Every structure is written in C-alpha cells, then in structure tokens.
Amino acid sequence: MDDEPHAPILIPPAALAADVLRGVIEAFVLREGTDYGEKEFSLEQKVVHVMGQLERGDVQILFDPNSQTVDLVTSRALSKR
C-alpha cells in the first residue's frame, strides 16, 4: 500500500457522466453550512447555479485521492494553493 500523500486531481466536468456530475453537485449544495444568503433557492435552482459556475470555470471539481473525496472549489481558492 502506498502511504505517500498524493496531490488533489482536477476533474473536468465533461469527464463525468451527466448523472454523476449532478450527484456531485447535489451532494455539494445539500451540505450543512452551504449558505445562499437571505433568499431561499430550490435544489434545482442551486444545481443550475453551480452548473453555470462550472461551465464558466469559476468552480472546479477536485478529487482528493488521500481521503477519496470530491469537492467543488472556487478557481480563486485553487490559484492561492
């Protein structure tokens, strides 16, 4: 078993099947602490919003092979790493 830490991997949205991509987005928007401000949005509205951010490149999909987790991270935050 390889115990060396591995760098996170950027996953292009197009590399995921549509249902998998939607599942990643839904898991992200349904997390505790995800705040959309004063206005309430439906799950569908949140998914569409995040999908737009992915399409524009404002948000990236990041897979961490060490924890075997996927996260959505702003491109701005990635550039600071």
Domain ranges within the chain, ordered by starting residue: 9-32+40-79
Instruction: Please tell me what DSSP assigns to residue 12.
Output: -
Say whether pTM exceeds 0.85: no
> To 5 degrees, how large is the angle CA 46–CA 51–CA 52?
100
Question: Worst-scoring range by mean pLDDT, 26-35, 55-64, 72-81?
Answer: 26-35
pLDDT of residue 50: 95
By the 10 Å C-beta count (0-12 exposed, 13-18 middle, 19+ buried), 50 is classed as: buried
CATH 3.10.50.40 fits 9-32+40-79, yes or no: no
**Spatial separation of the C-alpha atoms in residues 14 and 3, rounded to whole Å:** 30
